[in-house]
């Protein structure tokens, strides 16, 4: 039986099933660890499990996440401090809190809550993905909806297709709900507008 940490609720904010080949997700707390399994159709791209550990979309990176668990084919999984939207893979101290494995198309991880817990009853979890490129570095550029490292008309087209829609509406794309309030409106548009033509370093 799973031992659930008192007062902690793990909440799945978004799994991009239609976009990143995510087939199934399972996140839970056991033995004072946040554990998860992400089943994908084919492990041929980088998957980023974003952890918003303070339940505040206005802090951290992208949708408010403070940590990433990153799975890249052919590389060891990494746990990163994502508050500055970059991953320092040399942070050996942080890596010691992560256990991860890949079994076929199932990506599994376990992170000590003592390393990431910020007192919130809710941890928001988002599964993102990036197509493989020659570089294995990760740059999460807020507003880069197709993961190509630049905010341009391609991202604007994706955004326009869901503008004005709310969670539950046909065609609603949660990737465009940058502030996580359940709809895609002018506040979200400002993210695209303010970052237009910005590229990953």
Domains, in order of start, for the chain = 9-131 (2.60.40), 153-195 (no CATH)
> How many Cβ atoms from other residues are within 10 Å of residue 169's Cβ?
11
> How many Cβ atoms from other residues are within 10 Å of residue 86's Cβ?
16
Q: What is the pLDDT of residues 133-163, one digit of tens each?
A: 443 444 556 677 776 677 788 888 888 888 9
67 phi, psi to nearest 5 deg: -135, 150
Q: What is the pLDDT of residues 161-175, one digit of tens each?
A: 889 998 888 888 887
Q: Indicate the pTM of the whole model.
A: 0.60
- Determine which helix (DSSP H) or strand (DSSP E) holds 29, and give its type and residue range: strand 22-30
CA distances from 53 to 25, 130, 175, 197, 198 (A): 18, 22, 19, 30, 27
Which residues contact residue 170 at a Cβ distance below 8 angstroms, ignoring those fewer than 6 apart? none
């Amino acid at each position: 039986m799973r031992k659930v940490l008192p007062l902690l609720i793990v909440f799945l904010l978004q799994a991009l099933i239609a976009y990143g080949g995510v087939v199934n997700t399972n996140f839970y707390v056991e033995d004072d660890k946040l554990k998860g399994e992400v089943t994908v159709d084919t492990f041929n791209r980088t998957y980023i499990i974003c952890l918003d550990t303070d339940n505040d979309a206005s802090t951290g990176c992208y949708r408010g996440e403070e940590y990433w668990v990153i799975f890249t084919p052919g590389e060891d999984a990494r746990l990163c401090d994502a508050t500055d939207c970059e991953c320092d893979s040399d942070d050996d101290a942080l890596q010691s809190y992560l256990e991860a494995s890949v079994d076929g198309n199932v990506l599994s991880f376990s992170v000590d809550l003592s390393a990431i817990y910020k007192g919130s009853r809710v941890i928001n979890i988002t599964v993102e993905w990036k197509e493989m490129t020659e570089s294995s570095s990760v740059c999460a550029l807020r507003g880069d909806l197709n993961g190509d490292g630049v905010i341009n008309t391609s991202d604007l087209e994706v955004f326009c297709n869901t503008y004005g829609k709310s969670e539950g509406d046909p065609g609603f794309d949660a990737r465009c709900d940058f502030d996580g309030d359940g709809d895609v409106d002018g506040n979200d548009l400002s993210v695209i507008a303010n970052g237009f033509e910005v590229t990953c370093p």
